Structure 1
Amino acid sequence: MQKSNKNNKKRASFAESRRVQKLRNEIARLRDAYHIKNLPNITDDVYDSLTKELNILLQKYPEFNDPNAKELRVAGKPLDKFEKVKHEVKMFSIANVFSDEEFFAWEKRNLKLLGKDFPESSHEPGTGEFPRTWFMGGIEYFCELKFDGLAVSLIYENGEFIRGVTRGDGEVGEDITQNLKTIRSIPLELSPISLTRRGVGGEVNSIPDYIEVRGEVLMKKSVLKKLNELNEKEGKLPFANSRNAAAGSLRQLDPELAKQRSLDFFAYEIVQIKGNEWQKYIEKHFQKHELLHEFGFMVDKYAKKFSSSKDIPNFINKVLEIRENLPFGIDGVVINVDDTKTFENLGVTGKDPRGIIAFKYPAEKAATVVKDIKINVGRTGVLTPLAIFEPTSIAGSIISKATLHNMDQIGRLDLRIGDTVVIEKAGDVIPKVVEVLTRMRTGKEKKFKMVQKCPACGGKINKKITGNLGSSSLKGPRFPGAPNPSQTISHRTPQVPDKNLSVAYYCTNPKCSAKNERSLLHFVSVFGIYELGPKILRRFKDEGLITDAADIFTLSKEDIAPLERFGEKSAENIIKEIQLKKKIPLSKFLFALGILHVGEETARDLAMNFGSFKKITEAKIEEINEIENIGPAVSESVCVYFKDKNNLSFIKKLFDNGVIVESYKLSAISYKLSGLIFVLTGTLLQMSRELAKEKIISLGGKVTNSVSKSTSYVVVGEEAGSKLKDAQKLGIKIINEKDFLDMLY
């Protein structure tokens, strides 16, 4: 009788047992040397060959298998989908600057917000001459490379990596833990460090109970090149850039595919760490970098601390010189306010923290031929011309179209179909045409005429004057090709002073398919219904399940499950998410409606000032105009929207289908200034008017532009204006800055 295979299995010899242990130790050492200490003599080939030998021994002798062995980076089973995860701390974006002058203007704004003096005189770019007082008692900074990758958040509990999430929309991301575990430079366990040695206190070998680390997942340029060569051989499309390749790799449902892409991770921020003994060591941004490195993460070796802003432009230029030789793609330098408390005090504007800025490098340019000009219909009905050309490689991306903004832009450029043009792209900025090479014309070029009907629905088109395209208020030279935030035209094209009124073309058909499709996508995105992507929404419309966004909330599992490529589980997940998202904060609801000129910040201002949706719908233009930072165009747009019968009918349908709008509420501790209306005039010494406004609103109060009988207090700073006289005439209570601060604190 033949013995079972189990009884025939050979046991490992003592030498083989030792070999397994030595391989594990060496693989762990190499990982630390290569990914953490950046030692140049370690290669992937050596690492891979040792890992291969270990895997052979583990297959031969299963008794050595350890599912938690950190050196193996074993990929998990393929997933059906990625789960959505809400970030405990929001992942904000970073605002950009493109020149020394814009950087110093950013610093000047921050100094004013913090109540610090800033001299009126400024340095002469390129001369190295700076006012001495500029840098005395100013702000310390920490600068690091701006990697061109995918931002992720990592959670560790008791030193063990338990979850990794993409940025998503900043509030909700996708759980990609399985894929992140395949990246060698992400430690699966944190290395203990000695706080006693640092003089901070605590145990000799300490690991925090809980820590959240933020960083960037990257793909080396060399890896991208090999991947695209393989894609070409297999007849697949190449990745446009390393960021897209990294993002695409992490979104593979099969982690084995992600593992094959050889990704890397650089840590740059600690947003949460529990335990009082750790707080002293994260008071500065540079301290966080040191801590991350000791925990076992790769950090930017070029990162540097600066006692002032004076030498930062030189650092930026030095990084630019080595940019092409770096193994990873970068598109600039990130400048952080180093002191954590100062960073927090500066607060957030819109989606961007004020204490951090990205200095983007100059736009790259390329020449190409315009094959056609097509029209894109936006969610508000605006018709935007797009230049179509052969796929062109520029700024690390492959692009085939560029915005022309409007007909005025086409006229200023004298652009024609068939023209040879210069296009430029800087970082995430939308590609644009900046110059027409008229000397290359053959005479066969054709002038473009705006369509007479909407290309999507055939609806009527109206013209509308949209505003003045003035020149930038920021003086001084910029990097060649750097986009000017207040200009949509080429820097080579002269402007007509005070006559640059732009004419926009709108589709007037309220049932326009393209307009409604984009509005629908915007709506579900703001509501956070992530199960409903463009293809699914289009399918539901084609099947007659929905006609507008309100119909989404009437869908049932029985409606979806019978559809091809859907099933019980898929339908159940969609319905579950829709039901969970029926309740929405007032500010988000306003933004979701897609009211012309109402973005996220304006929606938030409206919500905070009026409190309830009903009050906003009943507000008069004059009342909305009273809100700081809101002008006549927004006020008129809001009032017009809520007078439209179709809009009111749509909103009623939403409410009938179960949508609940949460009124703007403050926590009990924040009712301090509830019901009080403030007007600010003059210069405040302890804080800027902008921060004062934010503080008032956060405590339940309101801030208006002008004095009226309903005003509770007029806060008077130095060199107060006419608002002080208005307050005296109306008998409104006037308080100085000290009294105001006493009210706040």
Structure 2
Amino acid sequence: MTVNEIVGKLTEAREVYYNSETPLMTDSEFDSLEDQLRELDPLNPYFSSVGILPLTEEDGGKIRHDIPMLSMGKAKNISQIEKWMKKLALPEDQIYCLQPKIDGLSASCRYRGGKLLYVATRGDGMTGQDISHIAGHMNDIRDSISFSSGDIEIRGELYLPKNTEYDTKGKPLRNNCVGLINRKEGQDDLKHVRFVAYQISDNSVSSTESGKIELLAEEGFHTVTYSRVSSIEEINDYYEKYIDENRDKWLYETDGLIVAVDDNSIHDEIDSRWVVDHHHHYAIAFKPPAAFRETTLKDIEWQVSRQGNVVPVALFEPVVLGGATLERASLHNFAFVESLMLRQGDTLVIERANDVIPYVRSNKSNVDRTADLFSNSLIPDNCPSCGRKLSESGVHLKCSNGECPEQLIQKIMYWVREAEIEQVSIGTVRALFNAGKIRKIRDLYDLKEEDFADLEGFGDKKITNFIQQVSKSRELTPAELISRLGIPLVQKKALKKLNINTIDDFLTFDDNTYVIGQNIIEWKKNALNREYLEEIISAVSLKDESTGESKGAVAMTGKGPMGRKELAARLEEMGYEFVSSVTGETDILLCEDPSSGSSKLQKAEKLGVKLMSYREFFSL
């Protein structure tokens, strides 16, 4: 791969990691790709960025961090930690603070005069997303502090604990956490999210990092566990205990340890010796290999994707790993199955990549097998859905039948998710398909109540809700449609910057200057993608993008007369821009109870933002 291709893949992977429920690659694969880029182009600007904003710019205000929230340098083994310590050249009795590297969403709580001013995500390290709305739903974020009246930030990690009562639907805890924070409605579920504090931006409150953690604990914050050590031997002992016990025992998911010089009075001096862009030099992340267990392969299940790729999933004897019981893991593609030379009864090594995603690392039973003599009965000859003969397409087995039932079902379901048609599950789509009620995406929009008459499991309420939800998604702008096609990094804001305002603009676009443009061009090369676009266009009703100036930015707090999504749509119809957070650029805050004391109201009053009731604004 070229440097640009590697940067594109890394950027896309980081974007998906922060926004999606299914990461594009494992943590080790991501690190390996970064290592390749570092060898080819060590000064690439990619290494000066530290993250991707977890929300799009349309979703609310931005917060610029006075002190950048940088990423961490990495060490993969104890010898690299020792090398880092030697590079620092500190006295032998220097104290280091060890703490877990929590796999959550980094956030900063800013206090001024002892009062909470806002909560923000790390974002790209320089600018984060204002998520102050979460504070009113969480006990871990304090409204005020007593140890300082200055302008300070308390930094930590937002996460869902391993023993959460929230229904994660089997998806990674971190991605569920991001989803809850991004949610516009049903924010009561934020009570399941924890904020664990580990840092204070002001060194004057304590001369040590461990002292800051103690101070936070005394103030009533939920804080990280930590240990103070002074030798490489103690670090190694703590690391081994982490591997053997703590990473399974701790209720927050982790992807390693952080080793930091405890004495923060020498941090600036340490950083002054090297360039500080991506990370500070007084701390380092000690990232262990993923946890793994051995188990027995029972079978391989082959699933048909909307693009016709037939994707293998390993089914194995249950194994407990990182506190989770695992019974299945993706095998990615048929070439990977072939390379492992899998047979039923084989001993598999299963790991949780990034301590989250189940992954088949190796097959311990294939050591004496010869690839050129191996015939794998677990690899199908025919499509498991339509029976059509499968062909090889790169690393995949492919079903070329455009009318394959499972491909059609997956295409319909993909649109349901992208169009944010709520409360419509894959089971519902499959039932309608199997009953012959839908075959294409456009069929969703033609369904009437009588079409459900002979179907089991569809009561009046479910039928009405289905039709209403589908109908809401029919009318959309070209930018909304294009942003829902699943093209990496392509969102409404990006389309504006590329001057793509209509479907024709999209079809004729050929500027490959930027990664986003390259992604669009590559997507259009695929005939199946173009057919998918045509199918969507035939199903929906396109409306013109508003070209007039916005009448103003409007935020909301408290319960309105209808759902937040419907209210936002009405705002836009009236010529206003909906924003989820109150910032200096917000013109109006809608609320019903000015005395509620919500963080948005407090901020609006400080900034002089106009307050209006929902009834007054919408003239209900």
TM-score, normalised via structure 2 length = 0.52
- The answer to whether the 8 Å contact 1:403/1:433 transfers is no
SS of structure 1 residue aligned to 2:357: coil
CA distance in 1, matches of 2:359, 2:411: 23
Are 1:219 and 1:243, in contact at CA under 8 Å, matched by a contact in 2?
A: yes
Shift of 1:434: 0.7
Distance 2:286 2:410 in 1: 32
Counterpart position of 1:218: 161
Please give the alpha-carbon distance, in whole angstroms, between the structure 2 residues aligned to 1:522 and 1:649.
Answer: 15
**Deviation at residue 529 of structure 1 after TM alignment:** 1.9
Answer yes or no: is 1:379 the counterpart of 2:306: yes
Equivalence for 1:529: 421
Tell me the equivalent position of 1:388. 315
Instruction: Name the aligned partner's letter for residue 268 of structure 1.
Output: V
Cα distance in 2 between the residues matched to 1:419 and 1:609: 51
Q: CA deviation at 1:317?
A: 6.3
The alpha-carbon distance between structure 1 residues 286 and 533, as it changes in their structure 2 partners (threshold 3 A), is farther
Contact 2:105 2:157 in 1 (8 A): no
Q: Report the Cα distance in structure 2 between the residues aligned to 1:615 and 1:312, rounded to whole angstroms.
A: 60
Once residues 425 and 415 of structure 1 are traced to their aligned partners in structure 2, the CA distance between those partners, rounded to angstroms, is: 20
C-alpha displacement at 1:617, in angstroms?
A: 4.2
1:29-428 matches, within 5 Å, as: 97-98=27-28, 113=48, 125-126=79-80, 128-130=82-84, 145=100, 186=139, 192-194=144-146, 198-200=148-150, 215-219=158-162, 266-268=194-196, 293=217, 296-302=220-226, 319-320=242-243, 323=246, 326=249, 328=251, 330-333=253-256, 361-426=288-353, 427-428=355-356
Distance 1:217 1:407 in 2: 34
Aligned length: 449
Note closer, same or farther for the CA distance 1:576–1:213 as it changes in structure 2 (3 Å cut).
Answer: farther
* Cα distance, 1:569–1:100 mapped onto 2, change above 3 Å: closer
The match for 1:618 is 507
Distance 2:417 2:284 in 1: 26
Aligned equivalents of 1:336 and 1:96: distance in 2? 23
Question: Letter of the aligned partner of 2:254 in structure 1?
Answer: D
Q: Relative to structure 1, is the Cα distance of residues 415 and 303 closer, same or farther in structure 2, using a 3 angstrom cutoff?
A: same
- State whether residues 240 and 398 of structure 1, in contact with CA within 8 Å, keep that contact through their aligned partners in structure 2: no
Secondary structure in 2 matching 1:128:
helix
Matches within 5 A, 1:399-548: 399-426=326-353, 427-438=355-366, 447-448=376-377, 450-465=379-394, 503-548=395-440
> Which residue matches 1:599?
488
Q: Equivalents in 1 of 2:461, 2:328: separation in Å?
A: 39
Rounded to whole Å, the distance in 1 between the matches of 2:465 and 2:134 is 18
Q: Which residue of 2 aligns with 1:653?
A: 538
Q: CA deviation at 1:544?
A: 4.3
Which structure would you say has the larger RCO, counting Cα contacts within 8 Å and 6 or more residues apart? 2
Q: Distance in 1 between matches of 2:156 and 2:462?
A: 32
2:350–2:358 CA contact under 8 A, matched in 1: no
Deviations 1:242-279 (A, max 9, x none): 969x99xx9xxxxxxx99xxx98641379xxxxxxx9x
Q: What's the offset of the Cα at 1:382? A: 0.8
Distance 1:199 1:383 in 2: 60
AA in 2 matched with 1:194: S
Instruction: Summarize deviations over 1:313-354 as a string: whole Å, max 9, x none.
Output: 998667446516845364324779999xxxxx999xxxxxxx
Quick one: distance in 2 between partners of 1:412 and 1:584? Answer: 45
In 2, Cα distance between equivalents of 1:523 and 1:336? 45
Is 1:375–1:455's contact at 8 Å kept on the other side of the alignment?
Answer: yes
Contact 1:370 1:417 in 2 (8 A): yes
Q: Displacement of 1:455 after TM fit?
A: 1.3
Query: Aligned pair in 2 of structure 1 residues 526, 287: CA closer, same or farther (>3 Å)?
Result: farther
Which residue is 2:603 aligned to? Answer: none
Letter in 1 for 2:83: E
Residues 326 and 358 in structure 2, CA contact (< 8 A), matched pair in contact too: no
| Counterparts in 2 of 1:332 and 1:459: CA distance versus 1, 3 Å | same
Offset at residue 377 of structure 1 (A): 1.2
SS at match of 2:498: helix
Report the alpha carbon displacement of residue 367 of structure 1 after superposing the two structures with TM: 3.1
Q: After superposing the two structures, state which structure 1 stretch, 319-328 or 100-109, moved more.
A: 100-109
Q: Percent identity at matched positions?
A: 20
* Structure 1: runs of 5 or more not aligned: 1-89, 161-170, 203-207, 225-238, 251-257, 271-277, 306-310, 340-344, 348-355, 466-502, 670-745
Matched, 1:638 2:562: no
Contact (CA 8 Å) 1:584, 1:662: kept in 2 or not?
Answer: no
1:103 Cα offset (Å): 12
Cα deviations across residues 122-164 of structure 1 (Å, max 9, x unaligned)?
A: 999447234988899xxxx99853558999999xxx999xxxx
For 2:158, the aligned partner's letter is G
Aligned to 1:725: none
Q: Deviations over 1:35-62 (max 9, x none)?
A: xxxxxxxxxxxxxxxxxxxxxxxxxxxx
Kept after mapping to 2: 8 A contact 1:150/1:218: no
CA gap of 1:150–1:561, structure 2 versus 1, over 3 A, is: farther
Secondary structure of the corresponding residue to residue 358 of structure 2:
coil
Shift of 1:408: 2.9
Classify 1:124/1:587 alpha carbon distance in 2 versus 1 (closer, same or farther; 3 Å): farther
C-alpha distance in 2 between matches for 1:264 and 1:394: 23
For residues 100 and 408 of structure 1, the distance between their equivalents in structure 2, rounded to whole angstroms, comes to 20
Shift of 1:610: 4.4
Is the contact between residue 390 and residue 398 of structure 2 (CA under 8 Å) also seen in structure 1?
yes
- TM-score (normalizing by structure 1): 0.44
| Structure 1 equivalent of residue 482 of structure 2 | 590
| 3-state SS of paired residue (1:218) | coil
Instruction: Determine if contact 1:241/1:397 at 8 Å carries over to the other structure.
Output: no
Deviation of 1:666 (Å): 11
Q: Is the 8 A contact 2:489 2:516 kept in 1?
A: no
Report the CA distance between 1:461 and its aligned residue.
2.9
Say if 1:550 and 1:653, in contact at 8 Å, map to a contact too: yes
Cα offset for 1:539? 2.9
Distance 1:213 1:131 in 2: 25
Give the AA of the match of 2:391: N
SS at match of 1:376: strand
Cα distance change, pair 593–92 in 1 and its aligned pair in 2 (3 A): closer
**Structure 1: how far apart are the matches of 2:341 and 2:151?**
69
Q: Alignment partner of 1:215: what SS?
A: strand
Cα contact 2:77–2:288 (8 A) shared by 1:
no
Would the aligned equivalents of 1:555 and 1:575 in 2 still touch at CA under 8 Å? yes
Deviation at 1:375, TM superposition (A): 1.8
Return the offset for 1:563. Answer: 5.9
Offset from partner CA, 1:485-542 (integer Å, 9 cap, x none)? xxxxxxxxxxxxxxxxxx3221111222222222222222222223112122223334
Letter of the structure 2 residue corresponding to residue 614 of structure 1 = I
CA gap of 1:625–1:295, structure 2 versus 1, over 3 A, is same
CA contact (8 A) 1:370 1:421 kept: yes
Residue 639 of structure 1: CA displacement?
A: 3.5
Q: Distance between the aligned counterparts of 1:600 and 1:619, measured in 2? A: 19
What is the CA distance between 1:614 and its match in structure 2? 2.2
